[in-house]
Amino acid sequence: MSRRRSRPAHSSNHTDPSNRKTPADRSGIHLLKDPSVARRLARSSGVGPGDLVVEFGAGTGVLTTVLAASGARVVAVERHPRFVERLERRFGDDTGVRIVSADARSVPLPRRSFTVVANIPYAISTPLLRRLLGPDRTPVTGADLVVEWGFAKRMTADVPRDAETAWWRTRFDLHIADRIPAGRFDPAPSVDSAHLVVRRRNGMSPRAARAAGELLRARSRAPHRPAKEVLGAHVPKKRAHRLLTSTGIDPPAPAGSVPIALWLRLAEKIENE
Ligand X SMILES: C[S@@+](CC[C@H](N)C(=O)[O-])C[C@H]1O[C@@H](n2cnc3c(N)ncnc32)[C@H](O)[C@@H]1O
Annotated binding site for S-adenosyl-L-methionine: 30, 32, 57, 78, 103, 119
What does the alpha-carbon distance between residue 179 and residue 184 come to, in Å, rounded to a whole number?
11
Piece in contact with ligand X (CB under 6 A), picked from 78-86, 90-98, 162-170, 207-215:
78-86
Query: Can residue 29 be called a binding residue for ligand X (CB under 6 A)?
Result: yes
Q: Which SS3 state, helix, strand or coil, does residue 163 take?
A: helix
Query: Can residue 83 be called a binding residue for ligand X (CB under 6 A)?
Result: yes
Identify the burial level of 7 via C-beta atoms within 10 angstroms of its C-beta, where 0-12 means exposed, 13-18 middle and 19 or more buried. exposed
51 to 46, 48, 141: CA distances (angstroms): 9, 6, 11
Residue selected from 51, 103, 214, 268 as contacting ligand X according to rule CB under 6 A: 103
Residue selected from 121, 160, 213, 232 as contacting ligand X according to rule CB under 6 A: 121
Piece in contact with ligand X (CB under 6 A), picked from 24-32, 86-94, 137-145, 265-273:
24-32
Residue selected from 124, 152, 240, 266 as contacting ligand X according to rule CB under 6 A: 124
Piece in contact with ligand X (CB under 6 A), picked from 58-66, 88-96, 164-172, 207-215:
58-66
Query: Can residue 30 be called a binding residue for ligand X (CB under 6 A)?
Result: yes
Please say whether the beta carbons of 110 and 130 come within 8 A.
Answer: no
Query: Can residue 24 be called a binding residue for ligand X (CB under 6 A)?
Result: no
Nearest Cα residue to 166 out of 266, 271, 248, 263: 263
- Least distance to ligand X, CB of residue 161, Å: 23
Query: Can residue 62 be called a binding residue for ligand X (CB under 6 A)?
Result: yes
Piece in contact with ligand X (CB under 6 A), picked from 27-35, 93-101, 233-241, 253-261:
27-35
Q: What is the DSSP string of 9-64?
A: TT----S-GGG--SPP-TT---EE--HHHHHHHHHHHT--TT-EEEEE--TTSHHH
Q: Annotate 156-191 with b (16+ C-beta within 10 A) or e (fewer).
A: beebbeeebbbbbbbbbbbeeeeebeeebbebebee
Residue selected from 56, 91, 114, 263 as contacting ligand X according to rule CB under 6 A: 56
Residue 254 DSSP one-character state = B
Query: Can residue 144 be called a binding residue for ligand X (CB under 6 A)?
Result: no
- Least distance to ligand X, CB of residue 270, Å: 40
Would you call the peptide bond into 110 cis, given omega within 30 degrees of 0 as the criterion?
A: no
Binding site for ligand X (CB under 6 A): 28-32, 56-60, 62-63, 77-80, 83, 103-105, 119, 121, 124
